[in-house]
Chains A and B, each alone.
Chain A
């Protein structure tokens, strides 16, 4: 048995598709300013962040329901419960720590562009970067793409932040 021409064509086509999709995604890249945290399909919080400064959020199951808590440098990591520690630093979001079994979310590269996400499958947690109100340029267009209006976002951000203990 030998490698056939069709095999080479297939490999080249696959690689070209990958490069092409990557290029298209790169061209449509916009820095985000809202991070949405959802668990099992339910939005827990939508937090607007600035391009400077550091914030950390601890996501864990508190009294039976998933909660997002703002925390400082010395984060109170729960010993028994499953947790994820998210850090937002200078407009870049990354999963700082988690006690999930595969640690894929922790090793995931930091995200900052709208549409990028960090997924923690064992904890069914999704961190998404979005573009929210107050963003210049393509904000409206992007919001329409996401199906979210400025009012929706403001409302949900307010609600989400009610639960956030400063």
Chain B
């Protein structure tokens, strides 16, 4: 029961961040590049909870934000990006080499690559090579920044969870 409530909270946070991102008129003139604010929540949940929780919240926030702020095509792009980036983050975490920052960078880069792959299929062109350097660079920067934010947040979240835990035992 507590788990469900926590996941609902994380999902709500991810949706708020999706909304904030949809408000920002941020465009690099390149399809596929996003700030990836909601990914902050997914990374946090990957460390705070487990892979299943993070995956579920990730999937739900894409479906919900897709229907709220975009359309079916938007969902298709977002899903492709999210699946690739989630797999990369999961693998990155499993290796144990990286901290939350490295995992977030992997997520950012692979998210952008996934989006351009779908764009390639949808518009049936292979002339997207020119975008690749920008996609990698942008994914690295946004991933690193969000990763550092996540790293700073983790101790506070731990504290909140512990306090709540002691309340439960009372």
Q: Residues on A close to B: CB < 8 A?
A: 1-4, 6-7, 10-11, 14-15, 17-19, 21-22, 25, 38, 40-41, 102-104, 107-109, 115-117, 119, 121-122, 124-126, 128
Contact = CB atoms under 8 A, between A and B. Distances in A.
Interface string B81-124: 00000000000000001111110011001000000000100111
A102 B130 CA distance: 20
16 contacts: A1-B151, A1-B155, A2-B99, A11-B102, A14-B105, A14-B139, A14-B140, A21-B136, A40-B124, A41-B124, A104-B27, A115-B130, A117-B128, A117-B130, A121-B119, A124-B123
B119 A15 contact: no
Interface in B22-53: 27, 29-31
B130 to A, nearest CB: 6
List 5 tightest A-B contacts by C-beta distance, closest first. Answer: A41-B124, A7-B102, A22-B133, A18-B137, A14-B140
Classify the interface of chain A: helix, strand, loop or mixed: mixed
Given A10-B98, A104-B30, A121-B73, A115 B129 contact: yes
A21 B128 CA distance: 12
A121 B139 CA distance: 20
Given A3-B151, A18-B140, A107-B27, A11 B105 contact: yes
A115 B133 CA distance: 15
A115 B127 contact: yes
A26 to B, nearest CB: 10
Given A18-B140, A104-B31, 7 more contacts: A1-B155, A11-B140, A14-B137, A22-B134, A104-B27, A108-B29, A109-B29
B4 interface: no
